[in-house]
Chain A
Amino acid sequence: KQEVTQIPAALSVPEGENLVLNCSFTDSAIYNLQWFRQDPGKGLTSLLLIQSSQREQTSGRLNASLDKSSGRSTLYIAASQPGDSATYLCAVRRWAAGNKLTFGGGTRVLVKP
C-alpha cells in the first residue's frame, strides 16, 4: 500500500527566504507526482506535475525534483512572499492504481512579512 508523508506539518519563514517542502512515498513504482496548493477553505490548485521519467519541473519561482529510487520529491519556492502562505500537498499516482492519487497530509506554510 502506498503511503505518502510530508514533514514538517507546518513551517514558518520570514519573507524572502527560500522554502523547501518535502514529500516521501513508500512505493517507488509511481506514474507521476503532483504538487498542489490549497488556501484555507478552498479547493486545490495544481502547481507542478512530474512524470516518473523526469527528474524535475520548473514553473516561475517553483521547482520540484523527483528521486524515485529514494522515494522523495522536494518542492522549492524561491524568494518566498506572504502570498505563498498556504497548505502544500503532494500526491502520487501509482502504475497499479489506475487513476487514483494518494495524498500526503500537507505542509502548512506561513510566510511572515
Chain B
Amino acid sequence: DVKVTQSSRYLVKRTGEKVFLECVQDMDHENMFWYRQDPGLGLRLIYFSYDVKMKEKGDIPEGYSVSREKKERFSLILESASTNQTSMYLCASSNFPSGRKDEQYFGPGTRLTVT
C-alpha cells in the first residue's frame, strides 16, 4: 500500500512565523503535490514537483515556497504566515505517467491555524 505521511495533523502558528510542513511518501513516486482545501473553494494546487530539486507553481503559489531535496520528501514553506493561510493542507504523490496508471495518493492532511 502506498503511504503518504505528513509531519503534523494539527498546527497552530502565529502571524509572521516561518512554517514548515513536511510530507514523505514511501513508494518511490516521482511526482509530489501540495494542495490547500477551504470550504466553498475546494482543493487548490499550490506547488508540485516532478523530480528532485524540480518544482512548478500551481494555481495559488503566492506566499508559499517548496523544497524537494530527496525523492521521498516534499516540504511546503510559509515564509511569513498570515491568517489567510489558515487551512487544511494536503500532500499527494503519484507515479510518473508514461502510459502507466498515475493515481494520486493523499496524506492525512495538516490543519494549520494562524493566529
Interface Cβ pair total, 8 Å cutoff: 52
A103 touches B106 (CB 8 A): no
B109 touches A34 (CB 8 A): no
Chain B residue contacts of A41, Cβ below 8 A: 88, 109, 111
- Overall SS of chain B's interface: strand
Segment among A11-19, A62-70, A71-79, A93-101 that sits at the interface with chain B: A93-101
Q: With the chains together, A46 CA to B106 CA distance in Å? A: 8
In the complex, which of the residues A34, A45, A105 contacts B42, with contact meaning CB atoms closer than 8 Å?
A: A105
Q: With the chains together, A89 CA to B94 CA distance in Å? A: 17
Number of interface residues of B (CB under 8 A): 25
Chain B residue contacts of A43, Cβ below 8 A: 4, 90, 106-109
B42 touches A103 (CB 8 A): yes
Give the nearest-CB partner of A106 in chain B: B42
Q: List 18 A-B contacts (CB under 8 A).
A: A32-B102, A36-B106, A41-B88, A41-B109, A42-B108, A43-B90, A43-B106, A46-B103, A46-B106, A51-B101, A89-B42, A91-B43, A91-B104, A99-B97, A99-B102, A101-B45, A103-B43, A106-B42
Given A46-B103, A46-B105, A91-B104, 20 other A-B contacts at CB below 8 A? A32-B101, A34-B104, A36-B106, A41-B111, A43-B107, A43-B108, A44-B90, A44-B92, A46-B104, A49-B103, A51-B101, A91-B43, A99-B31, A99-B33, A99-B50, A99-B97, A100-B45, A101-B45, A104-B42, A105-B42
Q: Which 6 A-B pairs have the closest CB atoms?
A: A44-B106, A43-B106, A103-B43, A43-B108, A43-B109, A49-B103
